[in-house]
Amino acid sequence: MRVLSLLVLTLGLLPLRPQQDHAKRREEMVKSQIEKRGVADPATLAALRKTPRHLFVPANSINDAYDDRPFPIVYGQTISQPYIVAYMTEIIKPQPAHRVLEIGTGSGYQAAVLAEIVKEVYTIELVDSLGSQAKNRLNKLNYKNVTVKTGDGYHGWKDKAPFDAIVVTAAAEHIPPPLIEQLKEGGRMIIPVGSPFMVQQLMLVEKKNGKARTTSLMPVRFVPFNRSQ
């Protein structure tokens, strides 16, 4: 044990926490980072308590997976902080029968949280290898109600529309018209809007009488909504 400890210190590595500790830290995360900041939807809180965030972050971030901060993954992308994931989830008012579209799969964490609540999640990732990694990760974790595809999220997923809700996890300079079209009447979309080089506004889009009504919620910083060429 002494030799192992010395090796860990020499290499600058941190030992992984046991599985039960991850569960304990998820509970602490929900209580201290999410509930205390006003998220109250029972389904959202239950999903955050269940989803193993440590399996969606890079290996060198596992021991810090339940801290309230984003982590860089690959290709300039990030996994959002737990509070933002919870807030965005609660805002769309997810229900068990809902079909939800996500734009920007990333590591798959937001899709996994949604999958704990709704009937079907369709998620689009622009970067092919990142989408493949997320798909494999979600399959291994037995998320059978999540469908992943690679593509340009600006155009949504017309074949699977309409959607009860849409979650966009990258900053767009404007709200893509195809996403509004693919949102059900009465549906809700949450999207960060603004320049990728400045603070953006997290916007709630509600579709009523075929038109989009927007509400500014809070300032945020998200990676840019990249388009395929």
Residues serving a catalytic function are: 80
Angle 141-167-77 from CA coordinates, rounded to 5°: 70
What are the strands, taking DSSP E only, across 63-182?
71-72, 78-79, 99-103, 120-125, 146-150, 163-168
Sequence-separated contacts (24+) of 76-80 with Cβ below 8 Å: 76/223, 77/104, 77/106, 77/107, 77/127, 77/130, 77/223, 78/106, 78/223, 79/53, 79/106, 79/107, 79/109, 80/109, 80/110, 80/169, 80/222
Strands 78-79 and 71-72 turn out to be antiparallel
Q: Which residues contact 127 (CB under 8 A, 6 or more apart)?
A: 75, 77, 150
Element (H or E) spanning 8, and its range? helix 2-11
Strands 163-168 and 183-193 turn out to be parallel
Task: Give bridge partners of residue 99 from the DSSP assignment.
Answer: 120
